[in-house]
Amino acid sequence: MGVILKIEDLYVDFKTERGLVKAIDGVTLEVKEGEVLALIGETGCGKSTISKAIMRLLPKNATVRGKIIYKGKNLLELPESEMRKIRGKEIGMIFQDPLTSLNPVFTVSNQMEEMFKIHKLPTRKSIFEEIVNLLKIVRIPDAESRAKSYPFELSGGMRQRVMVAMMLSSNPSLLIADEPTTALDVTIQAQIMNLMLELKRNFNTTILLITHNPGVVAEIADRVAVMYAGQIVEVAPVKEVFDNPLHPYTRSLMRALPKGHKTERELENILGRVPNLLTPPPGCRFHPRCPFADERCTGGKPEIKEVEPGHFVACYKVGGTRNE
Does 259 help bind another protein (rule: CB under 8 A)? yes
Judged by CB, which is closer to another protein: 101, or 213? Answer: 213
Q: Which of 47, 146, 251, 285 binds another protein (CB under 8 A)?
A: 251
When binding is defined by CB under 8 A, the residue of 81, 187, 295, 309 that contacts another protein is 187
Sign (positive or negative) of CA dihedral 165, 38, 40, 242: positive
Q: If you compute the radius of gyration of the chain from its CA atoms, what whole number of angstroms results?
A: 21
Q: Nearer Cβ to another protein, position 112 or 253? A: 253
Exactly one of 128, 203, 242, 292 binds another protein (CB under 8 A); which one? 242
Other CB atoms within 10 A of residue 24 CB:
28
Longest dimension (CA), the chain: 67
Taking the complex as a whole, how short is the minimal distance between the CB of residue 42 and another protein, in angstroms?
4
* CB of residue 199 to another protein, shortest distance in Å: 14
Which residue type occupies 315? C
CB of 116 to another protein, least distance (A): 28
User: Which of residues 66 and 281 has its CB atom nearest to another protein in the complex?
Assistant: 281
168 or 192, CB closer to another protein?
192
Whether 32 contacts 4, CB under 8 Å = yes
Residue 275 interacts with another protein (CB under 8 A)?
no
Number of residues that bind another protein (CB under 8 A): 51
- Choosing from 9, 129, 268, 294, the residue that interacts with another protein (CB under 8 A) is 268
Tell me if 185 contacts another protein by CB under 8 A: yes
Q: With binding defined as CB under 8 A, does residue 189 bind another protein?
A: yes
Instruction: Examine residue 267 and tell whether it contacts another protein (CB under 8 A).
Output: yes
Is there binding between residue 59 and another protein (CB under 8 A)?
Answer: no
State yes or no: residue 60 binds another protein (CB under 8 A): no
Residue 198-217 contact track with another protein, rule CB under 8 A, x = bound: --------------xxxxx-
Task: Output 47 or 89, the one with its CB closest to another protein.
Answer: 47
Asked if residue 28 binds another protein (CB under 8 A), the reply is no
Q: Toward another protein, which CB reaches closer, 120 or 261?
A: 261
- Region near another protein per CB under 8 A, out of 63-71, 85-93, 108-116, 236-244: 236-244
Strand 91-94 relative to strand 19-32: parallel, antiparallel, unpaired?
unpaired
Q: Which stretch binds another protein (CB under 8 A): 101-109, 113-121, 129-137, 235-243?
A: 235-243
Least distance from another protein to the Cβ atom of residue 207, Å: 15
Strands 73-74 and 62-70: antiparallel
**Helices 108-118, 156-169: inter-axial angle, 10-degree rounding:** 20
Cβ distance 204 to 174 under 8 Å? no
The contact set with another protein (CB under 8 A) reads 16-18, 42-43, 155, 157-158, 185-191, 193-194, 212-216, 218-221, 238-239, 242-243, 245, 251-262, 265-270, 273-274
